[in-house]
Amino acid sequence: MQVQEQTIKKTFPITGLSCASCAVSAESMLGATPGVLHVGVNFANSSATVEYQPTVVSPENLKSALQSIGYDLVTDDSEAAAEALEDLHQQNFRTLKRKAVWSIVFSIPLVIIGMFLMNIPYANYIMWALATPVVLIFGRQFFVNAWRQATHGNANMDTLVALSTSIAYIFSVFNTLNPEFWHSRGLHAHVYFEAAAVVITFILLGRLLEEKAKSNTSSAIKKLIGLQPKTVTVIRNEDETVEIPLSQVQVNDLILVKPGEKIPVDGKVISGSSYIDESMISGEPLPVLKEADAEVFAGTINQKGVIRFRATKVGGDTMLAQIIKLVQEAQGSKAPVQKLVDKIAGIFVPVVTGIALLTMIVWVILGGDNGFTQGLLAMVTVLVIACPCALGLATPTAIMVGVGKGAENGLLIKDAESLELAHKVDAIVLDKTGTITEGKPEVTDILWAVNNETAAVLYSMEQQSEHPLATAVVKYMDNVKPVTLEYFNSITGKGVEAKYNGKKYFVGSRAYIDAQKVTVPATLEEKSRQWLQNAATVIWFANQEQVLAVIAIADKIKTTSVAAVAKLQEMGVTVYMLTGDNEQTAAIVAAKTGITHFKAGVLPSDKAAFVKELQQQGHVVAMAGDGINDSHALAQADVSIAMGKGTDIAMDVARMTLISSDLLQVPKAIKLSRQTVKLIRQNLFWAFIYNLIGIPLAAGVLYPINGFQLDPMIAGAAMALSSVSVVSNSLRLKYAKL
């Protein structure tokens, strides 16, 4: 019987990817390495997920394979290596920015001379001096990458840029040094230094925009890991406490957690009681009471009590570690959005090169005495006019204006992919707490049985209470002056009792008040029932004889949520609500906001699974949330939106953040995406039309008919004009209404 060899599946960061076709090249190279069973390269976050046989291939072999084509694989997964990689990304961005800025500085006077001051003394030599650093220094990466691609039989945007700019530059240098070569043949020796430099400059600007959008991809995982404390207090020999690093904690260790500290690992409470803030796991705003035998989870925050618990899950087995892993997998599993320009470049490069060579050959054969010179000019004209400047600008300029427009309207858009993809959204999943609702409990009403002369007693009791709902009562009654209580006692999980002026008073749940055997006025009974039906939490205040007041506390629905849901539905987007809350509360919130599809009692992993289920049904899914518990679903969604007042982790995972936490911004984001994509399509259409008309004219298709041959100088001007038209069209978005 043959035993199947064990495989390893691991994600590695990649450096050096400059476009989507680079990701394809890297994926092909890794996939061809012996021992690799499956590989997926994600251009969006510059990573490769590789499943391989460790007995056949090692990470170092994979690294060597990628280095052979100009990329690199980071095999060291230590914390120091991660920081070094982040520093490298920042350094590369600064280098790219410096190149783009200096290219602009040199290109502006170059264009002015090339277009308007061609007749000044030594014009060609001045332009040569200005173009050389742009082409050979700032644009060096295009030639290096193009050569590496060519050695492996591939072509990408770098190939097209390198080919067109090098031909224009070399041809211009030749004409500058040997103008008599053309003059003796009755032709003028034109130079095209400005075309070569401007192409490099525009493409560098496009790359800069792209890098800026991808610069913060790893910060979300860092912050999730940051939820874990670095040290843990472990109890040894019954009473002795020892502080040890988190990595040394073992299952069954007895751990002590003081007020304000984070729970380091998952476990079960042995002794003590406290309220634990689990909002980062559950998303629900109310802290949860933890007593003996209750489960606690890593990353949650202990509030006021001291608890001892037994570790049940440590390291990668904790719930927080699982969330981190799920977020990483969801981010890595996204197929890179193949930029249309890069897809076209794979065909465009060989086609244009073929047309240019064919043009030269046809002119040599059929052009007569001047066939070679006219053919060479026609070939250069084809390469100059077919330069991918307009194609390269079509997307980034529209994205740049779209992102700026979003910022003006309170929408922080982190990358181009989400802005492009949002126009396809036909289903949106909304978290309830903090997204549809305010995310914090508030007193909505207080009803007194007779009068509120004992309000000061209620206020003073709630001031001393540790219960999280007491804070909402204190905030609501902040204009009441406290009194000095003769006696106060907190009964954990039930309520509080106190004595004032010789009388006993109680605040707590209905069960706690019923246990005091006090009279409940019918008006308060009826009102509490109404509040409960409206998803409110009811607190009771009583003395020894009767209930004095009932208090309704609820997480209010945001004032704009109803309008936002209606707007999304008008736009043809189906709205789903997911919540960890109970069925009754979820149903009431859904009914009030007009949402027909909702699920209650949902765990963080269930949210992501629901998003994936919708995607498998063919929907393009957006997810809006504000908590760490939403981070996996946000990473899984096609378009992820974080509410501005939510957690940092949600905002880092999400591709879009709403500064105001106003749900009405979500339909605005989708509308902005639709307008931006419309502009991109228009830009690409005009860029294609320009090439479809310009390339045949440059090749001399009209010469046999009317003797017209396009001058390379006019071709350069046409190329520049195409770029201007694309940028101008993109700027129209600034004045569009959302």
189, two tokens? 């020796």
| Closest C-alpha to 329, from 645, 574, 631, 108 | 631
Decide: 320 and 297 in contact? Cβ < 8 Å. yes
Task: Give the chain's count of helices (H) and strands (E).
Answer: 27, 26
Q: Using DSSP bridges, classify how beta strands 621-625 and 427-431 pair: parallel, antiparallel or unpaired.
A: parallel
**Distance separating alpha carbons of residues 426 and 677, to the nearest angstrom:** 16
Q: Spot the catalytic one: 266, 277, 342, 431.
A: 431
Strand partners, 276: 288, 302
Decide: 41 and 13 in contact? Cβ < 8 Å. no
Residue bearing tokens 């055997």: 517
Phi, psi dihedral angles at 630 (to 5 degrees): -90, -10
Decide: 382 and 712 in contact? Cβ < 8 Å. no
Contacts of 416 (CB under 8 A, 6+ apart): 209, 210, 213, 395, 396, 399, 403
Q: Which helix or strand (DSSP H or E) is residue 576 part of?
A: strand 574-578
Decide: 22 and 340 in contact? Cβ < 8 Å. no
DSSP 178-242: -HHHHHTTT------HHHHHHHHHHHHHHHHHHHHHTTTTTHHHHHHHTTS-SEEEEEETTTEEE
Contacts of 403 (CB under 8 A, 6+ apart): 413, 416, 419
Contacts of 287 (CB under 8 A, 6+ apart): 275, 276, 277, 278, 279, 303, 468
Q: How far is CA 698 from CA 114, 263, 351, 512, 590, in A?
A: 20, 70, 14, 89, 63
540, two tokens? 């009771």
**Distance separating alpha carbons of residues 399 and 731, to the nearest angstrom:** 10
**Distance separating alpha carbons of residues 129 and 135, to the nearest angstrom:** 11
Residue 431 bears catalytic tag: yes
| Closest C-alpha to 515, from 499, 497, 528 | 497
Helices of type H across 386-436: 389-408, 416-421
Q: What is the set of active-site residues?
A: 431
